[in-house]
Amino acid sequence: MGQLRTICLTLIGVFLARYGYNHYEKTKRIRVDESPLFAQRLEGTVKEYAARKRIEEVVPGVYAAIDYSLASSLLIVDDNRWFFLDSTENCAVMETIISDFESFLGTPKEIAGVALTHFHPDHCFGTGSIIAYAESLGQTYVPEIWAHDKFKSENEKFIHLSYLGFRRATSQFGHKLERERQINAGIGHRLTHREDQVCYLPPSKTFEKEVSIPFGKFTIQLFHAPGETDDQISIFIPEVSVLIPADNVYPHFPNLYPIRGAPVRSVRQWANTVANFRKLKAEHMIGMHSPVVHGAEKIDEILVTYHDGMKFVHDQTVRLMENLFTIEDIVEMVKLPKALADHPWLEQTYGKVEWCVRGVYSAYIGWFDGLPRNLRPLHPKISSKKHIKIAGREAIVQDLLQSVRDGQSCGDSACAHENLQWALELVDILIYSEIDEEKNVKSSIDFHPRKYTKEEFLKSKIFILKSIAEVQSNPTARNWYLNEANIIATSQVPTISPEARREHMTNLSVDLILRSFETRMNAPTALMEYEGKCFYFNIDEVEYNLLIRNGVLVKIENVNIILFLYIFKGLQNCESVHNGLIGTSEKFKDLLTHPATAVASLAKRDLKILGSITDFVKFLTLFKPISE
């Protein structure tokens, strides 16, 4: 009981310390004058998104729920049987869609299945609502959930970067912004993701190239169509000539590089997929982020334009690379021809040509652009101090203020962006230089900084970020600037809640969780305190043996363990087995995400710790984020 008391106190202490810190951070705020830089919105900036939530008939038997969330959910109906395509990012939203489909079509006699076009959350996080609805109908079998073979591996790629991915996604889509500030999410009205409304379920059936599902008078043809993602599938229903390209075609320039961060998408592969769509000669088309399009000629014209827009940017970027131009030169030089630039399906309101150029360049060359100054660049703290030494802080501050004035007087968004971008670069020099002096700044305008202090420079940066957001034509760029301003103002980085982590972890394998430990381990602490030590996990009677060696966590195979004597043999390079754990996967996941439940499990001996409980809890702190 002494050990149990210790772990209780340790876990409660960690929780209270974290709660207190978070509470302090929530009340801490840098206050900035909210006077707008621009009296009215400039021409060419982000437009309002006219969201109109609706159920729409594509053709008899095929229906779309549009503008309920970021992505649409589609329904195929035959003989009062339903087959869903995608499930949005939100359980509650999906429940509303199901209810509205029911009002529109009547109650079905069964749910035949679900197909998930790819692994992105806005297409699959509401799947549990569909399965629950099938149960409510008294259905005796669970509908199959279809996806591509790569769905699982693509989904698991980002488990190691969940915190970073969440922060960057909130910056791109802007769904944590105040509603009056976020105009739209680029590809749709607003991401309706809520961490307490996720009911993701993994696929139960997968395929490699294509599969045809007989469904009454329809044939649902699912086929691999890599483009926006490598696991992307598209759907064709030949009996009614309906093409559902998923996220491979939408009325925006394609997001060939998403600013939230992702491996560079293969532009050639995506363009080839769109070219292959033409062979189907579809008479009706609806994507998961697009309106219904009728008419074979119109659809073909859209597909040709979409293909050519992507291929033009790819080919011209590679041509200029081969002619030894720098990346910045190429960004300036690659512009869509007028016929493509003016096409309504290539508006740069989601992807941008300049981001695509950088993505193509990076895909071929990687991070180093070949310029000697970028081979081993100085840290911004060092270079900023050198800038200050050369120019003087007063000159840099006055140049910053002048750039803001010039940006304010611009009559167009490009001019305003250029001046505000320069102001943003200057304010970062001031912040990194670590100047902190209570001396007044001479200024003819009422604008920060008013003193040479870091807090005043941060106020300047917040104001500049909010101002530069107002002159963007791309909604995701606007969202990014605004979200970063909020992070500085509140000292709060958007993060995944414990509830969401618990929900997500239920669908992860123990092997994947333990593999994620490798990239979460604090190596400096591990080297000092755990070097050469081994840890034994027996989860659901499957053994895992982990060794810390040279600050790296490695898995050791074929270990002979005599548990009752705590004698461990055959562990290469192990000085000793420091700790171990025996239990079920459910209780193990509770230990990682719900300490209070884990304490109860230890008391009931549902979990068994080998060695010191206190030491084991300390071991687990090796894998917590630095921010916690």
| Token pair recorded at residue 269 | 């592969």
| Burial call 169-183: b when 16+ CB within 10 Å, e when fewer | bbbbbbbbbeeeebb
H or E segment and range at residue 352: none
- Residue 330: exposure state from Cβ atoms within 10 A (0-12, 13-18, ≥19): buried
**Spatial separation of the C-alpha atoms in residues 597 and 601, rounded to whole Å:** 6
Q: Are 475 and 434 in contact (CB under 8 A)?
A: no
Q: How confident is the model at residue 531 (pLDDT cuts 50, 70, 90)?
A: confident
Q: How confident is the model at residue 27 (pLDDT cuts 50, 70, 90)?
A: very low
Write the single-letter amino acid at 159: I
pLDDT (mean) for 195-222: 93
Q: What is the pLDDT of residues 36-94, one digit of tens each?
A: 566 556 666 777 766 789 999 999 999 999 999 999 999 999 999 999 999 999 899 99
Write the single-letter amino acid at 234: S
Q: What is the pLDDT of residues 485-515, one digit of tens each?
A: 999 998 888 777 767 777 777 778 899 889 9
Is pLDDT above 50 for 385?
yes
Q: What is the pLDDT of residues 405-432, one digit of tens each?
A: 888 888 888 999 999 999 999 999 999 9
pTM greater than 0.95 (yes/no): no
Long-range contacts of 614-622 (CB under 8 A, 24+ apart): 614/3, 614/6, 614/7, 614/10, 615/578, 615/579, 616/579, 616/581, 617/7, 617/10, 617/11, 619/530, 619/535, 619/578, 619/579, 620/591, 620/592, 621/14, 622/520, 622/521, 622/522, 622/525, 622/526, 622/530
What does each C-alpha distance from 221 to 212, 224, 332 come to in angstroms?
4, 10, 42
Range(s) within the chain of domains with CATH label 1.25.40: 31-44+378-490
Report DSSP state, residue 315. Answer: H
**Where is average pLDDT lowest: 119-123, 133-137, 571-575?**
571-575
Contacts of 119 (CB under 8 A, 6+ apart): 147, 151, 154, 155, 229, 231
Is pLDDT above 50 for 17?
no
For the domain 2-22+498-623, what is the CATH code?
A: 3.30.1050.10
Q: In this predicted structure, what is the pLDDT of residue 36? A: 55
Write the single-letter amino acid at 559: V
Is pLDDT above 80 for 570?
no
What does each C-alpha distance from 279 to 40, 226, 236, 303 come to in angstroms?
47, 16, 12, 11
Q: Are 229 and 246 in contact (CB under 8 A)?
A: no
Average confidence score pLDDT of the chain? 86
Is pLDDT above 80 for 146?
yes
CA-based nearest residue to 574, from 565, 561, 583, 564? 561
Is pLDDT above 80 for 525?
yes
| Burial call 423-436: b when 16+ CB within 10 Å, e when fewer | bbebbebbbbbebe
**Spatial separation of the C-alpha atoms in residues 429 and 393, rounded to whole Å:** 10
Strand duo 533-539 + 576-583: pairing = parallel
**Spatial separation of the C-alpha atoms in residues 366 and 379, rounded to whole Å:** 20
**SS in 3 state form for 172-234?**
HHCCCCCCCCCCCCCCCCCCCCCCCCCCCCCCCEEECCEEEEEECCEEEEEEECCCCCCCCEE
Is pLDDT above 80 for 618?
yes
For the domain 31-44+378-490, what is the CATH code?
A: 1.25.40
Q: What is the pLDDT of residues 437-494, one digit of tens each?
A: 777 887 666 677 888 888 989 999 999 999 999 999 899 999 999 999 999 998 888 7
**Spatial separation of the C-alpha atoms in residues 569 and 417, rounded to whole Å:** 65
**Spatial separation of the C-alpha atoms in residues 449 and 441, rounded to whole Å:** 7
Q: In this predicted structure, what is the pLDDT of residue 38? A: 62
Q: Assign domain 60-247 to its CATH superfamily.
A: Metallo-beta-lactamase domain (3.60.15.30)
Report the alpha-carbon angle 394-397-403, nearest 5: 140
pLDDT (mean) for 244-269: 92
Q: How confident is the model at residue 599 (pLDDT cuts 50, 70, 90)?
A: low
Q: In this predicted structure, what is the pLDDT of residue 35? A: 54
Is pLDDT above 80 for 600?
no
Q: Are 314 and 267 in contact (CB under 8 A)?
A: yes
pLDDT (mean) for 397-401: 90
Q: What is the pLDDT of residues 302-330, one digit of tens each?
A: 999 999 999 999 999 999 999 999 999 99
Report the alpha-carbon angle 6-12-15, nearest 5: 140
Task: Reduce the DSSP state of residue 438 to 3 states and report it.
Answer: strand
* % of the chain exceeding 70 in pLDDT: 86
Helix (H), strand (E) counts: the chain:
22, 22
| Token pair recorded at residue 40 | 């009215």
Is pLDDT above 50 for 26?
no
What does each C-alpha distance from 71 to 26, 96, 436 come to in angstroms?
32, 14, 47
pLDDT (mean) for 333-355: 95
pLDDT (mean) for 15-28: 40
Q: How confident is the model at residue 198 (pLDDT cuts 50, 70, 90)?
A: confident
Is pLDDT above 90 for 616?
no
Range(s) within the chain of domains with CATH label 3.60.15.30: 60-247
Q: In this predicted structure, what is the pLDDT of residue 619? A: 87
Name the residue with higher pLDDT: 27 or 123: 123
**Where is average pLDDT lowest: 118-127, 184-193, 257-266, 328-337?**
184-193
Kindly provide the residue ranges of all beta strands, DSSP E only, lying in 107-149, ordered along the sequence: 110-115, 144-148
Write the single-letter amino acid at 492: Q
